[in-house]
Amino acid sequence: MLSYRHSFHAGNFADVLKHIVLVEILEYLTRKDKAFTYIDTHAGAGLYDLQSDHATKLNEATGGFKKLEAEDWPELETYFEVIQRHNATDSYSQYPGSPLFAQQVLREQDRARLFELHPTDYEILSQVFEKDRRFTIEPMDGYRGLLSQLPPSSRRGLILIDPSYEVKSDYETVIQTIRKAHRIFETGTYALWYPVVQRERIDLLETQLMKSGIRNIQQYELGLSPDSEERGMTASGMILINPPWVLMDKMNQILPRLVETLGKDSGAFCKSEVLVGE
């Protein structure tokens, strides 16, 4: 299990991968004028203080986004724009959560629905978005919240499923939820984040999705070190259903460079795979 609230881990290497993928999908959706809906099942606090007791306890941002120089990554312009927007200097005292990356890309006609159960994070999230009418924030279970919103009226959408996996049942719940959601909203894009703490759990997750009957599934993973039986996250990944057709080429360029920059040792790795074809 992970010791979780996201404030302990904000800006780490897993966030780098997750938010790069998120921005790429959102920007692809804006290529069409028609509105779309962004749904975040575990939205968190929205903005994280990297000088807080939580963040400095593990200091994971120093091995994550802080190792990247914006000028070296022109293809990730929007990703760095969002970070810089919420920091007055290059010292980077804050890191934006997924909803703020979405806010940067969403247009006037687009809508977002955010779910967050933790009362403190919900209050912070509500304050961050209180003046943005495109965003609706609800203090409820994100799995149930997601299913209540499908299909969106726009009939276009991105669903980010980003649980803590602190409760072991999350691994099974995400599969059940995705199956139900896909039956209701087959054309939506689904982005599932996962941590590699015990590889066998991820192997089972992949197998269940591959046997679900759902088509067009891709996987991207970034590991700082080889799989280990020791406690802690060595890698993280994203599993995508109905991803943009351009995403694979883009990630094939980005991931090896992230390994070089963020990898802790010679065992660092990345992978990009088609789990199920179209």
pTM, entire model: 0.94
Could you report the per-residue pLDDT of 105-161, keeping only the tens digit for each? 999 999 999 999 999 999 999 999 999 999 999 999 999 999 999 999 999 999 999
Given the structure tokens 């991931």, which residue do they identify?
255
Could you report the per-residue pLDDT of 43-68, keeping only the tens digit for each? 999 999 887 777 566 678 888 999 99
Could you report the per-residue pLDDT of 229-260, keeping only the tens digit for each? 777 899 999 999 999 999 999 999 999 999 99
Whole-number percent of the chain with pLDDT over 90 = 81
Structure tokens that stand for 204 in this block: 């089972």
Amino acid identity at 191: A
- The domain locations on the chain are 6-276
**Pairing outcome for strands 47-49 and 37-40:** unpaired
* Residues labelled catalytic: 162
Structure tokens that stand for 240 in this block: 């995508």
Looking at residue 228, what is its pLDDT? 84
Could you report the per-residue pLDDT of 16-31, keeping only the tens digit for each? 999 999 999 999 999 9
For domain 6-276, the CATH class is: alpha beta
- Cβ neighbors of 210 (< 8 A, separation 6 or more) are 217, 275, 276
Average pLDDT over residues 155-172: 93
Q: Is the pLDDT of residue 88 over 90?
A: no
Mean pLDDT, the chain, integer: 92
Average pLDDT over residues 91-100: 92
Q: Is the pLDDT of residue 3 over 50?
A: no
By the 8 A CB rule, do 243 and 214 touch?
no
Confidence category of residue 1, pLDDT binned at 50, 70, 90: very low
Q: Identify which of 20, 1, 4 has the alpha carbon closest to the alpha carbon of residue 191.
A: 20
Q: What angle do CA 10, 194, 275 make, to 5 degrees?
A: 140
Looking at residue 57, what is its pLDDT? 66
Looking at residue 111, what is its pLDDT? 98
Looking at residue 55, what is its pLDDT? 57
Looking at residue 62, what is its pLDDT? 87
Could you report the per-residue pLDDT of 219-229, keeping only the tens digit for each? 999 999 888 87
Looking at residue 223, what is its pLDDT? 95
Whole-number percent of the chain with pLDDT over 70 = 95
